[in-house]
Amino acid sequence: MPWQPACGDAWACSAKGQARWTRSRTARTGACARLKRETDCGRGWLLEDRWGSGEVASPGVLYNPASLPGLVAQSGGTRLGPATFSLKQGECEVVSLDVIVQAQGIGASLVREVEAAARQADDRRLWLITIEDNPEALRFYHRRGFRPTTIHREAIAHSRELKPCISETSPFGIPLRDEIELEL
């Protein structure tokens, strides 16, 4: 059965470009948003602007999020943030998640929708990778029940081989070396 959104303040698009309209309220603000389809499921716009590239590196894989199943939070015609994921071999990897306005329940709604997609696909494991110098992401995912499972030492050097534009240092001047794997 193809994945379909359960509920949430995001619009959903499967890898085949299927979408459904829905409305829901965010947990924190009660703001209403709806699901809407766009050509590339609307995911590349924010990644290129904020991440420097439309591609996402994960251990040994370079993803093009526009080709993955995903969600885009939207309210009043304004796109608030995308999430993309990869479903394969009984696992669901959260490949990208980014929102323009934080602390409004948008990211949490996107994570709930990805979790629902993983359940519907009968995936037993929901996981993601983040970098060591991203405390906001670590706090966000910890609050949603994700736990660190592995620290991939020096993994960013391997990711840089796939995606050379990955910076050597964080905006705070800290060398970027390790990736942290989190699992729900």
Does residue 5 sit within a domain? no
Does residue 2 sit within a domain? no
Of 6, 9, 12, which is closest to residue 32 (Cα–Cα)? 9
Q: What is the rounded CA–CA span in Å between residue 160 and residue 57? A: 8
Does residue 83 sit within a domain? yes
Does residue 123 sit within a domain? yes
Q: For residue 142, what pLDDT is reported?
A: 96
Domain count for the chain: 1
Q: What is the rounded CA–CA span in Å between residue 148 and residue 21? A: 34
Does residue 3 sit within a domain? no
Chain centre to alpha carbon of residue 174: 24
Would you say 38 and 72 are in contact if contact means Cβ atoms under 8 Å apart? yes
Residue 156: count other Cβ atoms within 10 Å of its Cβ: 22
Does residue 64 sit within a domain? yes
Does residue 125 sit within a domain? yes
Three-class DSSP labels, the chain: CCCCCCCCCCEEECCCCCEECCEEECCCCCCEEECCCCCCCCCHHHHHHHHCCCCEEECCEEECHHHCCEEEEEECCEEEEEEEEEEECCEEEEEEECCCCCCCCHHHHHHHHHHHHHHHCCCCEEEEEEECCCHHHHHHHHHCCCEEEEEECCHHHHHHHHCCCCCCECCCCCECCCEEEEEC
Does residue 165 sit within a domain? yes
User: 49: domain range?
Assistant: 11-183
CA angle 35, 36, 41 (to 5 degrees): 110
CATH code of residue 27:
3.40.630.30
How do the pLDDT tens digits run along the chain, 184 residues long? 333 333 333 434 433 333 333 344 444 444 444 433 333 444 555 555 555 566 788 888 888 877 788 888 877 777 778 888 888 888 999 998 888 777 778 888 889 888 888 888 887 899 999 988 888 999 999 999 999 999 999 999 999 888 888 889 988 888 999 999 999 9
Would you say 109 and 54 are in contact if contact means Cβ atoms under 8 Å apart? no
Would you say 25 and 112 are in contact if contact means Cβ atoms under 8 Å apart? no
